[in-house]
Structure 1
Amino acid sequence: MKLIAKLMGAAAVLAVSMNAAMSARTDLVVGVVLEPPHLDPTAGAAAAIDEIVYANLFEGLTRIGPNGEVQPALAANWTVSGDGKSYTFKLRENVKFHDGTQLDAEDVKFSLERAMAESSTNAQKGLFEAIQSIETIDPATVTVNLKHPQGSFLYNMGWGDAVIVAPESAETNKEKPIGTGPFKFGNWAKGSSVTLTRFDDYWGDDVALEEVEFRFIPDAAAAVPALLSGDVHAFPNAQVGDALGQIQADPRFEVVIGATEGETILAMNNGKEPFSNLKVRQAISHALNRDEIILGASSGNGVPIGSHFSPANDAFVDLTDLYPHDTEKAKELLAEAGYEDGFKATLKLPPPAYARQGGEIIASQLREIGIDLEIIPVEWAQWLEQVFTNKDYDLTIVSHTEPNDINIYARDDYYFAYDNEAFDAVIEELDQTADPEKRKELYAQAQRIIADDAVNGFLFQLPKTGVWDAKLNGMWENQPIQANDVTGVSWED
């Protein structure tokens, strides 16, 4: 009997051990292409910031869901005044920042006024231009008064640039971010990865993962072996090149081709010759063969665009036929512009594969019409400084992943250096219009103006090539906002 008891006891211990071993894992390694310059989404334009911290670490009054819908976040609900100019937000109860301080209406007021301030370094100050004032009614209630009704206001408050921060930690969020999300900052191994850990005092539903590491893997040469070996569990935007077919055939992985908000463009510096000349820009647009570019830069998965607008949006207008690929027409336009013998220019390319690979193809295409490009590879920090901030460039290739961002063409000091009063007037009217059908009409007008002006070479909508372990649940199929939201991700048991 003693022997039987011992055997039963041993079996029970073995069963417990096996159940523990078979329980769902709680760690996740996510591969991302670019290392962010810092970790404060309210103080920088780099999408790489939001791709780590949006919804995971920082939250706003609202948030953008996986299908692009506006959802409640730190605001449990809200009411809108009859004239559409005042939004009163009721904040959720018992929300804590990661340092233990309590969220209240004063933090909301501070965050919005900080973003609006003349000295603000927020990359999307236009999101807050309609705000007249912010009133704290009580610790859990805040009213935002607008200068005029704004149909996109709740959507704007869901951007990463509009997350709520605390005055006690706002100035140190670049290196040690403190938010209200279900994950808190763990570690930043510069040049390698950022690690987030579960925040146990989170106000909302518990997340399944205890630790998430965002590992920086800029190219296919490193991404493919990391994936195949299991060192990385998921690539929300996989850069795996020709290996995609091999991975799709491997039952260990799930491959999902979704959509992003990333308008991929050949940006032109409209503020300097010869790109200030409309006919030169039109010639370049005619010289571009989108089919070749899409095949080489996005494995054929990009969707062609003819203006700065996502094909997934119901206000999209297909303008891809405005400047069809026509080398002879391009040469004629160059000659009319006074550049019959062509000219030389530079093409600055940031690290993503779509830029580096697409740049080689575009340089070859423009060479056919006499434009000789010097390709200059730059790191992301260099691109932000030289191109985005200082406008020190001729041509560049980049994906603009902010949602519904056609309004950037109305900004006075934006790096395109584009200026069109008619376009500015459309955007101003759009900002003050709430009626969905009227907004759709205005979006169409805006698309046509910048397409007619050939402001940039409009190439394709960046596809979201998601590759992850087949046992993972909750990864986003599409990317309606520049984020890798892992708050709903879990492993199968």
Structure 2
Amino acid sequence: VAFNNVKGVFTDKRLREAVARAIDREELILGAVNGMATPVEAGLVPITPQYPHGFKGLEYDLEKAKQLVIDAGYPNGLDVTMRVIAAANYTKPAEVLQAQLKKIGINVKIEPMERGTWFDVAYAGGDYEMTFYAHAISVNDADFCSYPFLHSSEADGKGNNYMGIKNAELDECLEKARTSQDEAERKAYYLRACEIIRDESLFVPCYTGRRTMAAVKELKGVQADPWMRYYKYNYSW
């Protein structure tokens, strides 16, 4: 779940945190993708070597979420718009999130948009309040799913930081992780980056999809690959 961190109601950390504490990931996965996903609580792609397995996001707490909405100045709740790509893998989770956030007084209007329009208006144009978007990588390293989307130099239409995130400590972590040659040190920087993302509720990671495949039981060497790379020479009878 992505917020507009530059303008609008979600510049208030209390509202971002309220959303984070109101999301039931298991319910979201069941309703959005029929259970075919794994919950994610850290702000990195889980397949990367630097992903902090065991990391805990903010605790699900509806009462605290409700109070945060009140503290932010909305005792009677508020209305927001979620602009999403008009495809089932975005509209279905948006509908589940809509129901979950209603419980804390955030009334979400879902606005589906043609993919190209969404990229022009929301992603590149920054004209949205909140959205739901899937991040993917082509290189198996945390830098590829963090720096382009989270570093302040990539904001303001200069790159892929469509959420407008600008956090000096987060920038420092991403820069040092990008340049360090020590893998343990890199993992420590990315762990701290995930803590900042969680503590500031800059966005809310929700789940990662599962890859599945089927084969006759006699075929050996068959296993699902997250990169969807399947080679005949791996198989045998």
TM (normalized to structure 2)?
A: 0.83
- CA distance in structure 1 between the partners assigned to 2:9 and 2:54 by the alignment: 24
Counterparts in 2 of 1:242-257, with a 5 A limit?
none
Identical amino acids, percent of aligned pairs: 26
- CA distance in structure 1 between the partners assigned to 2:65 and 2:96 by the alignment: 17
Alignment counterpart, residue 418 of structure 1, candidates 165, 174, 190:
165
- CA distance in structure 2 between the partners assigned to 1:416 and 1:469 by the alignment: 45
Call closer, same or farther: CA 1:275–1:299 in 2, change over 3 Å: same
Other structure's SS at 2:82 match = strand
Call closer, same or farther: CA 1:340–1:465 in 2, change over 3 Å: farther
Which residue pairs with 1:431 in the alignment? 178
Other structure's SS at 2:110 match = strand
TM (normalized to structure 1)?
A: 0.42
Call closer, same or farther: CA 1:277–1:467 in 2, change over 3 Å: farther
Call closer, same or farther: CA 1:489–1:353 in 2, change over 3 Å: farther
Which residue pairs with 2:146 in the alignment? 406
CA contact (8 A) 1:343 1:370 kept: yes
Call closer, same or farther: CA 1:472–1:373 in 2, change over 3 Å: farther
Alignment counterpart, residue 336 of structure 1, candidates 62, 66, 71:
71
Could you tell me how far 1:317 is from its partner in structure 2?
2.5
Other structure's SS at 2:14 match = helix
Counterparts in 2 of 1:72-471, with a 5 A limit?
266-318=1-53, 321-402=56-137, 403=140, 404=142, 405-407=145-147, 408-410=149-151, 411-413=154-156, 414-466=161-213
- Of structures 1 and 2, the larger Rg is shown by 1
- CA distance in structure 1 between the partners assigned to 2:218 and 2:116 by the alignment: 35
Q: Which amino acid aligns with 2:58?
A: Y
Could you tell me how far 1:335 is from its partner in structure 2?
1.2
Could you tell me how far 1:299 is from its partner in structure 2?
2.0
Other structure's SS at 1:346 match = strand
Could you tell me how far 1:289 is from its partner in structure 2?
0.8
Other structure's SS at 1:275 match = helix
Could you tell me how far 1:296 is from its partner in structure 2?
1.5
Q: Which amino acid aligns with 1:349?
A: V
CA contact (8 A) 2:32 2:89 kept: yes
Other structure's SS at 1:430 match = helix
State the Cα deviation string for residues 62-83 of structure 1 (Å, max 9, x = none): xxxxxxxxxxxxxxxxxxxxxx
- CA distance in structure 2 between the partners assigned to 1:306 and 1:393 by the alignment: 24
- CA distance in structure 1 between the partners assigned to 2:12 and 2:220 by the alignment: 51
Counterparts in 2 of 1:10-29, with a 5 A limit?
none
State the Cα deviation string for residues 115-153 of structure 1 (Å, max 9, x = none): xxxxxxxxxxxxxxxxxxxxxxxxxxxxxxxxxxxxxxx
- CA distance in structure 2 between the partners assigned to 1:467 and 1:389 by the alignment: 39
CA contact (8 A) 1:475 1:489 kept: no
CA contact (8 A) 1:319 1:451 kept: no
Q: Which amino acid aligns with 2:126?
A: K
- CA distance in structure 2 between the partners assigned to 1:365 and 1:327 by the alignment: 9
Q: Which amino acid aligns with 1:400?
A: H
Could you tell me how far 1:353 is from its partner in structure 2?
2.9
- CA distance in structure 1 between the partners assigned to 2:197 and 2:54 by the alignment: 11
Other structure's SS at 2:57 match = coil
Call closer, same or farther: CA 1:360–1:314 in 2, change over 3 Å: same
Could you tell me how far 1:485 is from its partner in structure 2?
5.1
The unaligned stretches of length 5 or more in structure 2 are none
- CA distance in structure 2 between the partners assigned to 1:368 and 1:320 by the alignment: 26
Other structure's SS at 2:95 match = helix
Could you tell me how far 1:471 is from its partner in structure 2?
11
Structure 1 segments (4+ residues) deviating >6 Å: 468-476
The unaligned stretches of length 5 or more in structure 1 are 1-265
State the Cα deviation string for residues 433-491 of structure 1 (Å, max 9, x = none): 011111111111111111111111211122224468999999982234xxx557x4599
Call closer, same or farther: CA 1:432–1:271 in 2, change over 3 Å: same
Could you tell me how far 1:316 is from its partner in structure 2?
2.4
Q: Higher relative contact order by CA 8 Å / sep ≥ 6: 1 or 2?
A: 2
Higher helix content, 1 or 2: 2
Other structure's SS at 2:34 match = coil
- CA distance in structure 1 between the partners assigned to 2:42 and 2:88 by the alignment: 22
Call closer, same or farther: CA 1:272–1:320 in 2, change over 3 Å: farther
